[in-house]
Amino acid sequence: MPEGDTVWRAARDLHAALAGKELTRCDIRVPRFATVDFTGDTVEEVVSRGKHLLIRGGGGGESEGWDIHSHLKMEGLWHVYAHGQKWRRPGFKARCVLETADNVVVGFELGFLRVLPRSGEEEAVGYLGPDLLGGDWDPAEALRRLALQPERPLGLALLDQRNLAGIGNVYRCELCFLAGVHPLTPVGEVRNLPRIVDLAKKLLEANKLRSTRATTGNLRGNNLWVYGRSNRGCLRCGTPVVLEQLGDSELELRDLYYCPHCQPPAGGGRTLER
């Protein structure tokens, strides 16, 4: 599931393939932007912002520059190919194809894709909270934003990108488990909130260079404490993991995994795992 660490790796790989290179082909397969063609422009850089990815280019001379802004959502991904190399997904699933003299970059099944003038970037992603893997990371600001919603369940507040950017559903469930906090505990009742924010940073940093995401320290299986374990039980105590759904609305419901023994429905939680 694409979360902040996945998008960070995608940005790193695309930056290596595109930055400083002139586009020899630009094929954006989204009806609204189908006539946009940046062929001949130079890509400046590719960066991640939480779970968003920005390909920036065309800012030479008096040009304002442009952004290709994408979000992977559930199924999206970016691939880098050599010319002539067979794509690993069918062409009809491609939403953006960018070519340079050296590489072919393809975005498949992107949750959304749009083209922005550089001046529109702030409006597009400026609402996001501090990026756990970005240069703007500020734990004090993340805590300040979380504190503004003391009645909101922690399991919803952690997933809200306006508080801290980069946490997806897997990390939401694993962080609540490691904190020993029931995900429905109101933010204002969580005593170890600073440690949870600190752990979120440590987990994403530890996983950003890994192809396998792990919160248990085990990369060869049993890599997650509760996420996806509703049929196997909690890795710590063996209690059947509960699978429910949680979201701010019916359209935003996401699977929620927790251990009813390790995460009793009471405020505060116990000391975090070290």
| Cross-strand bridge partners of residue 258 | 242
Confidence of residue 120 (pLDDT cuts 50, 70, 90): very high
pLDDT at 46: 98
User: What residues act catalytically?
Assistant: 2-3, 51, 254
- % pLDDT > 70, the chain: 96
- DSSP characters over 206-253: HHTT-SS--SSS-SSS--SSSTT-TTT--TTT-PPPEEEEE-SSGGG-
pLDDT in tens, 18-66: 999 999 999 999 999 999 999 999 999 999 999 999 999 997 766 789 9
Structure tokens of 127? 């609402």
Architecture of domain 139-258: Orthogonal Bundle (1.10)
**How much of the chain, in percent, has pLDDT values that exceed 90?**
87
Residue 139's nearest CA partner among 88, 90, 59, 196 is: 196
- CATH architecture assigned to 4-126: Alpha-Beta Barrel (3.20)
Sign of CA dihedral 202, 206, 212, 217: negative
pLDDT, tens digit (0-9, with 9 covering 90-100), for 211-261:
899 999 998 889 999 999 998 899 999 999 999 999 888 888 899 999 999
DSSP structure class, residue 92: G
**What pLDDT sits at residue 266?**
64
Determine the pLDDT at residue 269. Answer: 43
**Taking the domains of the chain in order of start, what are their residue ranges?**
4-126, 139-258
- The mean pLDDT value for 111-136 works out to 96
As a whole number of angstroms, the distance between CA 39 and CA 172 comes to 40
CA 131 to chain centre: 10
